[in-house]
Chains A and B, each alone.
Chain A
Amino acid sequence: MKLAALMRKEFHRFFHDPRLIMTLLMPGLFIFLLYSVLGEVIHETEPAKYDYKVYLSGQSQIVSILENTVIGTGSSIEFLEVSSSEEAIDAVEKGEANAYLIFSENFDASFDAGATVDIYYTSSDVDEGTGESFYALANSVLQTCGMRFSIVPHSFLTQESLGKMIMKSVLPMLVVTFIFSACMSVTLESVAGEKERGTLTTILATSVRRSDIALGKILPLCCIASLGAASSFLGIAFSLPKMMGISFSVFFQSYGFVSYLLLFLSIMGLVPLIVSMISTVSAFSRSVKEASAFTSVVMILMMVLSLITSFVSNVGDWAVVVPVFNSVFVMEEILAGGAPVLLTLAAFGLNLVYSALLVLLISRMLSSEKIMFGK
C-alpha cells in the first residue's frame, strides 16, 4: 500500500504536469522536424561532381553501365590505358589517377565461377575524396548487378589519413557532447535553482536592470564552462591517438597551427551559445527538476545535430547559419584537413549573435511575472 502510494505520487507528479509530459514528446517531435527540414535542404543541394581518371584492366558489360551511371550523376570518367599493373597501382597511390579497376579474365562469362573485381583507390586526403567517391559509386553499381562475383577493395589509406577520417567522423560529436556536459553542470541550476530557493526574487527587488542580471549570470558561466570545455577537449585530444593506435607525433603533425586555431574558435563559439541555451531553459523552468528534464531534450537535439555530418556528405555552406550544427560542420571541415577560415569566422560570429539574442530573451523572461512567479 505504502509502495503503491509512493509510486502513484511519482506518476501523479509527472503526468499531471503538462510541461513534464512535453519533455517526453519533444525529442521525437524535434528530431522528426529537424531531420525532415534538413533532409529537404540537403537533397535539394546539387550533388558534388567529379572528373574521374580510372585505369581499367579486363572487359565487362558492367563498364558501360558504370560509365552511364557516372554521366547520369553529372560527373565524367576517363578510362586510362594500363601499360603495367604495377605502374597503374603506383599512379593511384600517388593520386595521379583516382582508381584502378581490374576485372578478372572472362568476367561476364564466369559470373558464378569465381569472377572478381579488384578496385584500387586513393585516400581522401590525396585527391579530395574523388577516389573514395568513385569506389562508393562503382561498388553500388556492382552490387546492383548481383553478388555472384567478389569485389576486392584496395585502399591506400595512410595511418594519418585513417586518423583524420576517424577524427572527422567522431570528434565533432564528442566535442559537442563534452562541451554540453561542461556547460550543463554549471548552468542548469543558474536561474531555476535561484527561482526555487527564492534568492532570485531578492535580486529582482533591487534596481538592477534585468539585462544586467542575465549578462551577470551568463558571462561568468561562459568563463567557467570554457575551462570545463578546454579540459574536455584536451582529454579528447590526448586520448584519441591512443584509442586509434597512432602515435602522438603523427596525430599532432596532421594538423597545422591554423587548424588548431580554427578548431579553438569553433569550440569557443559553441560555449556561449550552449550556456545561453541552457540558461534560457533554466529561466523558463519552475524548478531544477524541470530544468533538468528540459535540458535533456536539448541535449538530444545537440546529439542529433552533431551526428548529421557523419552520414550526410554533401552539406552546403548554408549549414553555417544553423546554430550548433555550424560548429560541427566547420569542425568536420577542419578535421578533414581543410582550413575554412571564412566559414569558421562566420560560424563563430553567428553563434555569438545567437547567444546575444538568447541573453535578450532571458532579460525579457526575467521581467515576465508569469515565468518568474508562475506556479
Chain B
Amino acid sequence: MSDINGLKEIVRAENLKKTFSISRKQRRIEKTDLTRKVAVNGLSFSAYGGEIYGLLGPNGAGKTTTLRMLSTLIKPDEGDAFVMGHSVCKEAARVRDCMGFMTGELKLEGFFTPDYLFDFFGAMHGVDKATLAARKKELFTRFGIDRFAEVRVADLSTGMAQKISLVVSIVHDPEVVIFDEPTNGLDVLTAKVVTDFLLELKAMGKSILLSTHIFSLVEKLCDRAGIIIDGRMIAEGTLEDLCGDLSLEEKFFEIYHGIKGDVL
C-alpha cells in the first residue's frame, strides 16, 4: 500500500475488467457479432483514508459495476482490487468485514422494524451486543430514527427507509464506505442529512467511495474524482488537477465530446 500526503491507501483497484453476455436480440440492435459487452475495462485507481473519492460518469459507464466488484458482490474477469490490503477475489469475507456498501439495489425487508434490522445486520457482521447497543443509540439519534425504531420499514416514508438503509450499511463501523448514487431518489432534506454524514465520516478518517452523475455532488463532497466513460478511467485527480479553470461540468463535456464526438 502506498501513501500520499500522509493519507493511507485504503482501496486500490488494479486493472479491473468485467464483461457481461449480450443477448442475440441486443446484438442485432447494436449490429455487432460480439457476444460479450465490456462494462469495465482495465480500471485502476486508489482511494485513501480521510478522503472522499468520486466516480463520475454517465449511465452505463461502469460505475456501479466497479463498486459491485469492490463490494465483492460480483467478481472481476481480470485484475483485482484490495480493500485494507485484502483481495476482493481471494478474501471476499474479510473485505466485507471492513466495508459498508449502500446502493439502491440493497433493500430491507419491509416486515421488520429498524430496531430489529439493526440488530440483525449487527449480528451478520459479528458486532458484540454492547457495541451494537451503543452504536444503535448513536446512529438512531443522529438520523432521527429513534422515534420510528419500532415501526415496520414498510410503513415508513421513503426518506426514513433510506436513512435506515444507511445506518444498517455502517452498523459495523467500517473503515471503507461505498455509496452508489447516494442521493438518488432522496428529498432535499434527506439528501442533506446524507451528504453531511459523509463529510462527518471523512472527518473521522474513513475512506469513502461514491459513484454519481451529479456534478455538484462531486464538487461539494469529493477530494478526488475519476471520470469513467465506456468502462475506462479517462481522467483522475483532485478537482483542481482535473478541471483547471473550468467547472467540473464543462470539463466533463469537453472530455466526453473528445471521446464520443457530438453524440449525447
Contact = CB atoms under 8 A, between A and B. Distances in A.
B106 A373 contact: no
A207 B97 CA distance: 5
A205 B97 contact: no
Contact of A199 (B73, B75, B109): B109
B124 A208 contact: yes
Given A205-B71, A207-B125, A373-B74, A198 B96 contact: no
Interface in A202-243: 202-209
B96 A201 contact: no
B121 A373 contact: no
Given A207-B93, A209-B93, A201 B124 contact: no
- The contact size tier of chain B is 20 to 34
Interface in A24-70: none
B107 interface: yes
B124 A207 contact: yes
B262 interface: no
**B contacts with A: majority SS:** loop
A205 B108 contact: no
Given A369-B73, A369-B74, A199 B93 contact: no
A205 B124 CA distance: 10
A207 B100 CA distance: 10
Contacts of A204: 73
B144 interface: no
A202 B71 CA distance: 11
B256 interface: no
A209 B97 CA distance: 11
A198 B107 contact: yes
A209 B105 CA distance: 20
Contacts of A209: 93
Contacts of A369: 73-75
Contacts of A199: 107-109
Contact of A202 (B93, B97, B107): B107
A220 to B, nearest CB: 14
Interface in A343-375: 369, 373
A206 B121 contact: yes
Nearest to A373: B74
B178 to A, nearest CB: 10
B216 to A, nearest CB: 28
A40 B75 CA distance: 45
Contacts of B109: 194, 197, 199
Contact of A205 (B94, B101, B126): B101
Contact of A203 (B71, B75, B94, B124): B124
Contacts of B74: 369, 373
Contacts of A198: 105-107
Interface string A178-199: 0000000000000000100111
A369 B20 CA distance: 11
Contacts of B93: 207, 209
- Listed from nearest, the 8 A-B pairs whose CB atoms lie closest are A198-B107, A206-B124, A207-B96, A202-B106, A207-B97, A369-B74, A208-B124, A205-B101
14 contacts: A194-B109, A199-B107, A199-B109, A201-B105, A201-B107, A202-B106, A202-B121, A203-B124, A204-B73, A205-B101, A207-B93, A207-B97, A208-B124, A373-B73
Given A199-B109, A202-B107, A206-B125, 5 more contacts: A201-B105, A202-B121, A205-B96, A207-B93, A373-B74
Interface of A: 194, 197-199, 201-209, 369, 373
